[in-house]
Amino acid sequence: MTGTVNILEIRCGSGHAIGVLELDNTSSLNALTLTMLKTIQQQLLHWQHDENIVSVIIQAVGEKAFCSGADIRALYYALENDPAVTAINQSVAATMDDYIHQTNTEQSYLAKPFLIDYFTLEYSCDYLIHHYPKPIIAWGNGLIMGGGLGLFIGASHRVVTPSASLAMPEMKIGLYPDVGATWFLNQLPAGIGLFLGLTGADVNASDALDLAMADHLIVDKDRERLIKQLKHYPWQNIAQDGVSAVVSEILTAIATDSERQRPPSQMIPYFPQIQAACVAPTLDIVYGQIEAISGMGSWLENAKQTLIEGSPLSAHICFHQMQHYQQASLADCFLMELSLSVRCGLLGEFKEGVRARLIEKDNQPKWLYKTLSDVDTRLVDCLFTPLWHQQQNPLADLV
């Protein structure tokens, strides 16, 4: 997969500059390659110490997507070409011990290092954005999914256009909501994060604002208006700690003119039913109650369909995230997710999901477990077991 990040510095009349990172991988809906993530990290680290840079904009080329997520095809081919990973999938009678051994394998010399490198870099970028010392404006148009939401959600100033669609659809491919979703889904009102994780339901611009997953709604054509105002603002009169408030004022003023373009809510009409369905002690009860939510329309039906067709193992992982990490810090969630993502990759469920949905596109994934009740919780517990002592975790410096 080719892909790049265009780097721009927009010169301001004050002598300062606005840094721009533009995701450019339109053939794959701006999915994040390893090279793109390296560019994002290196440039953000450089700009945070550049006194001339007052703020950063993260945007994307094209109208269809801000970012569709991680470069999962590259992850898939690393798994597909690793004998240590494919061996268990060829076994007709794999046991629980085989699965647990697979997630602990030291024989993977291709897939495991790539998984570690990719997810370490991706999560480092996400964390850097969450804690960036300068305002970051994320311009979210079109699809904002998975890894794309990981970039977007941590920005200090999150703009959605009327076409924006936020989602964590990892259930469909046998993974789980990562990129810090263990933390940010748990920040949502009770039950809502679990619903989004289990169903992969898309959140449109109106719902994103109501759920505080975005801060401003602005129509696409007003991006140039925003840039013009940033260019001509007298930044020399503003201390660094006052820049964020100025950016908020500019965005709020522009957003006022876009209010009429706000799309009808999709989730909010079902909000009480979703909360009631998802605040339950066991996963099977949650499933039954989501399926019983009454209402018409494709949005709810699509959510229920993903619930039914998604990986039962992924569902258990998501439920565990939402139940056991409600009080965990963002850094601790990323450390946990790094181990979990590598183990999930080595297990094979993710590889099978990508094969079925994106590579061969037969949409008939052969999940390890056919139903929720079939899932062995020992495997779930194993997947959440750290791969490293905390100080050896590649993300240990986040804490």
CATH value of 4-398 in 3.40.50.1100, 3.90.226.10, 1.20.58.390, 3.30.230.70: 3.90.226.10
What predicted TM-score, i.e. pTM, was given to this entire model?
0.96
**What's at 256, amino acid-wise?**
T
Query: How far, in Å, are 144, 312, 369 from residue 377 at the CA level?
Result: 32, 11, 12
Collect the ranges in the chain with pLDDT lower than 70.
1, 87-93
Task: Beginning with the edge strand found earlier in the chain, give each strand of the sheet holding 65-67 in spatial order.
Answer: 65-67, 143-145, 165-167, 203-204
pLDDT of 296? 81
Residue bearing tokens 């061969």? 360
pLDDT of 154? 98
Q: Report pLDDT digits (tens) over 43-59.
A: 999 999 999 999 999 99
Report the alpha-carbon distance of residue 235 to residue 230 in Å, rounded: 9
Backbone angles phi, psi at 24, to 5 degrees: -135, 85
Backbone angles phi, psi at 158, to 5 degrees: -100, 115
Chain CA centroid to CA 10, Å: 28
Q: DSSP 3-state helix, strand, coil percentages of the chain (rounded to 5)?
A: 55, 10, 35
Q: What angle do CA 192, 193, 194 make, to 5 degrees?
A: 90
**What's at 361, amino acid-wise?**
K
pLDDT of 86? 73
User: Could you tell me where the DSSP H helices lie in the chain?
Assistant: 34-47, 72-80, 83-89, 96-103, 111-130, 147-153, 181-184, 192-199, 205-210, 223-232, 243-256, 271-278, 283-291, 298-309, 312-324, 330-347, 349-354, 377-383
Report the alpha-carbon distance of residue 137 to residue 214 in Å, rounded: 11
Q: Among residues of the chain, what percentage have pLDDT more than 70?
A: 98
pLDDT of 26? 95
Chain CA centroid to CA 315, Å: 17
Chain CA centroid to CA 132, Å: 18
Return the sign of the alpha-carbon dihedral for residues 95, 96, 97, 103.
Answer: positive
What value does the mean pLDDT of the chain take?
Answer: 95
pLDDT of 99? 84
Report the alpha-carbon distance of residue 338 to residue 334 in Å, rounded: 6
pLDDT of 102? 85
